[in-house]
Amino acid sequence: MIRQGHHVCTAAVLLTLSAGVAHADPGTAKTRMVTRTQVDRACDNAKKFAETNSNGGLTFWDVTAGLIPAAGQGLWWRIDNIERWAVVDPLGAHGPNTQVTVWKTPAEVVLVSAFFTSDSGDWAYFVDYCYRPDGTLARTTSTFNSFVAANVPDGIRRERTRYFDAAGKVSGSRSLVSNLATGKLLQVQVVGYDEPAYDAVERLPFYPLLRSAWES
């Protein structure tokens, strides 16, 4: 089991979904998300909103044994009874490899908190996707924990923030890598282990269920 902050990677980790997304220009006076400062302010506020509204909404799991579904991939379940599925694991020996939570703030910023892992549990991603009110991706903040991504016996933790323009292109990035056990900063490269970049809300792999929930 890999732990990160308040996240615990087990089948009992249940994530929730709130109401829908409105469509608006990313540069509106209500929520401007053009400059990096504006994006950080809006996305940080969205994270605070999620932390203070952690309960409620809908839960979605990818119940295949697949890893990191791309857009249109996976077999997604809408979990209506959290207590029931916390006891009866639909996947048998292991829990869902992909779990997501979606919040929409009063400012119409969308935060998607995602958890990805493998059956063996030797790596895990924790990714927050922050979307502008028009549905385009503005920022991702991710933590990647792994025992296989670098030649470090204790494993590594990479923490990374990436910014995206309205066309979905990376406009900036910063990261650091540390020893998973000790927290000591490391001068190592972690190549080829990128979190998926769903560059719009409509590209999220569970979007058909999400859209259905919004329209109901």
Q: Which domain holds residue 22?
A: 12-215
**pLDDT score, position 145:** 92
Q: Could you tell me if residue 32 is inside a domain? A: yes
Burial 93-103 (b: 16+ CB within 10 A, else e): eebbbbbbbbb
- Give phi and psi for 14, each to the nearest 5: -120, 130
Q: Could you tell me if residue 4 is inside a domain? A: no
d(CA 36, CA 126) in angstroms, rounded, equals 22
Q: pLDDT of 112-145, one tens digit each?
A: 988 888 877 788 999 999 999 999 999 999 999 9
d(CA 113, CA 54) in angstroms, rounded, equals 11
d(CA 70, CA 87) in angstroms, rounded, equals 28
pTM of this prediction exceeds 0.85: no
Q: What mean pLDDT is predicted for residues 155-181?
A: 94
Q: pLDDT of 175-189, one tens digit each?
A: 999 999 999 999 988
Please name the residue that has the structure tokens 């400012």.
Answer: 107
**pLDDT score, position 90:** 52
Give the count of domains, the chain.
Answer: 1
Q: Could you tell me if residue 179 is inside a domain? A: yes
Q: Could you tell me if residue 6 is inside a domain? A: no
Rg of the chain (C-alpha set): 17
**pLDDT score, position 173:** 93
Q: Are 31 and 132 in contact (CB under 8 A)?
A: yes
